[in-house]
């Protein structure tokens, strides 16, 4: 680990430093001492810089995902030694942080220190308490880091291939350590590991070998590159075979439950969400908001009924009426073979609306590329954003969309009804403009590197959910009631995510109960509900981040609007809110409401 520089900086504040030449003749008491005093603010900035540099050396794959490429050639073997290094890192950084007088910091810098503290707490908690490294085999997959280097544009190809060449040397050792770590895993995480590592084989392809052959590497390095790629490919295949056997054994003899229980759930919620609410309090809030949304959906369905069912009596209950109306509307959707293209084609219209309405300042120089989800990333969500880190601001942001090629006709139809004509527009607002893509571009431009790098998932997801309703409130879709009904259905899914996740891990609901909650209670198609159940079994707490952040942002906007009165401007609010990186909303509130 690199030598920390903070101790030197802090030491300068402990007393005056007098400098004198060897020929000093003037009495010391007649000369004002020359002092170097570093403020608490400067200490904190120095600490932040060395913390980040030390973290990247400790976690080079995390670094390269953030756009920092100094340690690209390093692959950390996930063994006991590396875990102890992480714990030592936590201890050292806490000791250095304790030397900074946080009472004398600016509000913004104090928040940076809180984010660093939360990062350290999370690292230690996962290793010592949660121990996901033991029971989540899906944590082990080298493909992502290699793909980031191979597909990156941050350096010439030969330089990137050299990093790959060195990084390849530890792939076999990496998987050996992974197998040594895995103990009493869940069946769900084991199956996911099989699927995603099969996808990893696509990274170590013949195409990669050919790319090296056509590069400027020496003949010796080209031969070495090919042999190491083949060795890595074999290491992945061997690991897949091991996982397959493990999966069969778990299926036959039973496996650890994917449910983590109330105590661990609350702890993880506190670290991941960083909200003023507890997990239980958020759950109760979601139950109340569900009633409100269902009431609004009933009103819209009642208004639309005669348009779509002119000769049919209304059902006896609001739930049945909403369900039938949604089923009627959901048949309007894109063809399965056009799914990815349709998403790609909708982005310019969203950008035009945001600009015409003057809602947010968009950066024309930050490209968004819609692509099919890489194989090694599939199996978690059907759509996602892969954004470059603040070190690589000019790199592409990718909108990953999983095509429907591997679905049966029945599955594809169910999926397309879920992402119908109206919902697909809401999805694109969420993922692209002005949702994740827009927010993450702003995050990369934050003056605080800490706020960009160690952002809060609830703020990131919450902004995307907030942007959906905001766009409709501002007139996107011309206040079409069908769009609003489908928006409420989508929003109800966000609320239900929180209810589902909480009840799975705290109330032990069954799969049948979970599907009923989503299909009967939130009008979701079976394919979507089954996919969400699967997602809830391989993650914890993350599904609550959407609703948590969304409610926090809306509450903040109402408070900010009341404070500004006639001076309130929606674009000003958005630009200022997004300027604070990806800090938790509770901290953004502190910054915005004190100005």
Q: What is the pLDDT of residues 441-499, one digit of tens each?
A: 999 888 999 999 998 999 999 999 999 999 999 999 999 999 999 999 999 999 999 99
**Alpha-carbon dihedral sign for residues 265, 267, 272, 277:** positive
Same-domain check for residues 81 and 154: no
Facing residues of 400 across strands?
371, 384
Same-domain check for residues 311 and 356: yes
Confidence (pLDDT) at 381 = 67
Reported as a single tens digit per residue, the pLDDT across 15-25 is 322 222 333 33
Reported as a single tens digit per residue, the pLDDT across 394-411 is 778 899 999 998 899 999
Residue 171 counted as domain residue: yes
Whether the predicted pLDDT of 392 surpasses 90: no
Which range (24-38, 325-339, 573-587) has the least confidence?
A: 24-38
Reported as a single tens digit per residue, the pLDDT across 553-595 is 999 999 999 999 999 999 999 999 999 999 999 999 999 998 6
Residue 219 counted as domain residue: yes
Same-domain check for residues 221 and 247: yes
Same-domain check for residues 234 and 207: yes
Mean pLDDT of the chain: 92
Confidence (pLDDT) at 372 = 92
User: How many domains would you assign to the chain?
Assistant: 3
Residue 278: count of CB within 10 angstroms of its CB: 13
Same-domain check for residues 584 and 496: yes
Residues 269 and 273: their CA atoms lie apart, in Å, by 5
Confidence (pLDDT) at 540 = 97
Residue 263 counted as domain residue: no
Residue 1 counted as domain residue: no
Confidence (pLDDT) at 2 = 40
Residue 264 counted as domain residue: no
Which range (70-79, 171-180, 373-382, 498-507) has the least confidence?
A: 373-382
Percent of the chain with pLDDT over 70: 93
Domain that holds residue 242: 137-258
Residue 265 counted as domain residue: no
Residue 97 counted as domain residue: yes
Which of the four pLDDT bands, split at 50, 70 and 90, describes residue 258? very high
Residue 202 counted as domain residue: yes
Which of the four pLDDT bands, split at 50, 70 and 90, describes residue 383? confident
Same-domain check for residues 344 and 214: no
Residues 81 and 77: their CA atoms lie apart, in Å, by 9
SS3 400: strand
Q: If you count them, how many residues does the chain have?
A: 595
Confidence (pLDDT) at 308 = 98
Whether the predicted pLDDT of 420 surpasses 60: yes
Same-domain check for residues 121 and 147: no
- Residue that finishes a domain, picked among 258, 287, 316: 258
- Residue that finishes a domain, picked among 89, 109, 129: 129
550-561 in b/e burial notation, b at 16+ Cβ within 10 A?
A: bbbbbebbeebe
Distance of CA 401 to the CA centre of its chain: 16
Averaged pLDDT, 218-238: 98
Cβ atoms of residues 321 and 305 within 8 Å:
yes
Confidence (pLDDT) at 595 = 65
Confidence (pLDDT) at 37 = 61
Whether the predicted pLDDT of 32 surpasses 50: no
Same-domain check for residues 83 and 107: yes
Which of the four pLDDT bands, split at 50, 70 and 90, describes residue 528? confident
Among the listed residues 595, 552, 549, 554, the one whose alpha carbon sits nearest the alpha carbon of residue 576? 595
SS3 498: helix
Among the listed residues 462, 455, 471, 454, the one whose alpha carbon sits nearest the alpha carbon of residue 498? 462
Reported as a single tens digit per residue, the pLDDT across 93-103 is 999 999 999 99
Confidence (pLDDT) at 12 = 26
Percent of the chain with pLDDT over 90: 85
User: What are the C-alpha distances in Å from 570 to residues 269, 425, 463, 560?
Assistant: 31, 22, 14, 10
Whether the predicted pLDDT of 108 surpasses 90: yes
Same-domain check for residues 125 and 141: no
- Residue that finishes a domain, picked among 202, 228, 258: 258
Higher per-residue pLDDT: 39 or 381: 39
Q: What is the 3-state secondary structure (H, E, C) of 169-218?
A: HHHHHHHHHHHHHCCCCEHHHHHHHHHHHHHHCCCCCHHHHHHHHCCCCC
Averaged pLDDT, 263-270: 98
Same-domain check for residues 543 and 473: yes
Same-domain check for residues 233 and 278: no
Which of the four pLDDT bands, split at 50, 70 and 90, describes residue 247? very high
Same-domain check for residues 63 and 147: no
Positions of E strands within 285-438: 368-372, 383-386, 397-401
Confidence (pLDDT) at 92 = 98
Which residues have CB under 8 Å from 526's CB, separation 6+? Answer: 414, 515, 519
Confidence (pLDDT) at 382 = 82
């Amino acid at each position: 680990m690199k030598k920390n520089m903070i101790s030197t900086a802090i030491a300068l504040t402990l007393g005056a430093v007098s400098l004198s030449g060897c020929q000093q003749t003037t009495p010391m008491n007649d000369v004002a001492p020359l002092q170097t005093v570093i403020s608490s603010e400067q200490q904190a900035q120095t600490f932040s810089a060395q913390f980040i540099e030390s973290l990247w050396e400790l976690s080079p794959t995390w670094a390269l995902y953030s756009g920092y490429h100094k340690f690209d050639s390093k692959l950390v073997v996930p063994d006991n030694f590396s875990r102890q290094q992480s714990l030592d890192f936590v201890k050292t950084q806490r000791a250095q942080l304790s030397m900074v007088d946080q009472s004398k910091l600016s509000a913004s810098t104090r928040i940076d220190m809180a984010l660093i503290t939360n990062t350290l707490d999370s690292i230690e908690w996962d290793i010592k308490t949660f121990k996901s490294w033991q029971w989540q085999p899906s944590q082990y997959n080298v493909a992502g880091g290699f793909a980031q280097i191979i597909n990156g544009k941050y350096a010439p190809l030969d330089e990137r291939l050299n990093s790959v060449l060195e990084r390849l040397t530890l792939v076999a050792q990496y998987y050996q350590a992974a197998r040594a770590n895995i103990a009493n895993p869940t069946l769900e995480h084991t199956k996911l590991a099989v699927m995603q590592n099969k996808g990893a084989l696509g990274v170590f392809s013949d195409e990669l070998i050919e790319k090296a052959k056509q590069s400027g590497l020496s003949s010796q390095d080209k031969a070495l590159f090919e042999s190491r790629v083949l060795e890595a490919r074999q290491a992945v295949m061997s690991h897949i075979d091991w996982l397959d056997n493990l999966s069969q054994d778990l299926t036959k003899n039973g496996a650890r439950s994917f449910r983590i229980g109330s105590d661990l759930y609350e702890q993880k919620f506190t670290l991941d969400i960083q909200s003023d609410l507890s997990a239980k309090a958020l759950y109760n809030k979601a139950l109340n908001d569900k009633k409100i949304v269902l009431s609004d959906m009933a009103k819209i369905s009642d208004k639309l009924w005669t348009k779509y069912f002119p000769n049919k009596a209304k059902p006896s209950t609001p739930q049945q009426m909403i369900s039938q109306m949604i089923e009627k509307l959901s048949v309007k959707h894109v063809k399965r073979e056009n799914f990815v293209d349709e998403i790609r084609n909708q982005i310019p219209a969203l950008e035009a609306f945001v600009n015409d309405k003057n809602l947010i300042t968009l950066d024309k120089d930050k490209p968004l590329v819609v692509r099919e989800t890489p194989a090694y990333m599939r199996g978690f969500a059907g759509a996602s954003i892969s954004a470059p880190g603040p070190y690589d601001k000019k790199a592409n942001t990718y909108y990953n969309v999983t095509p429907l090629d591997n679905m049966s006709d029945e599955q594809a139809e169910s999926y397309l009804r879920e992402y119908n004509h109206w919902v697909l527009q809401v999805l694109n607002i969420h993922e692209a403009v002005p949702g994740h893509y827009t927010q993450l571009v702003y995050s990369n431009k934050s003056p605080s590197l800490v706020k960009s790098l160690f952002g809060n998932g609830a703020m990131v997801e919450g902004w995307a959910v907030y942007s959906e309703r905001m766009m409709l409130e501002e007139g996107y879709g011309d206040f079409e009631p069908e769009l609003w009904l489908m928006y409420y259905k989508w929003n109800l899914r966000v609320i239900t995510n929180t209810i589902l996740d909480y009840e799975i891990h705290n109330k032990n609901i069954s799969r049948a109960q979970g599907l009923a909650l989503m299909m009967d209670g939130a009008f979701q198609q079976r394919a979507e509900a089954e996919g969400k159940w699967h997602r809830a079994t391989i993650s914890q707490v993350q599904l609550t981040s959407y609703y948590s952040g969304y409610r926090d942002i809306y509450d903040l906007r109402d408070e900010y609007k009341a404070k500004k009165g006639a001076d309130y401007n929606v674009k000003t609010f958005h630009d200022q809110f997004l300027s604070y990186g990806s800090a938790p909303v509770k901290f953004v509130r502190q910054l915005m409401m004190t100005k």
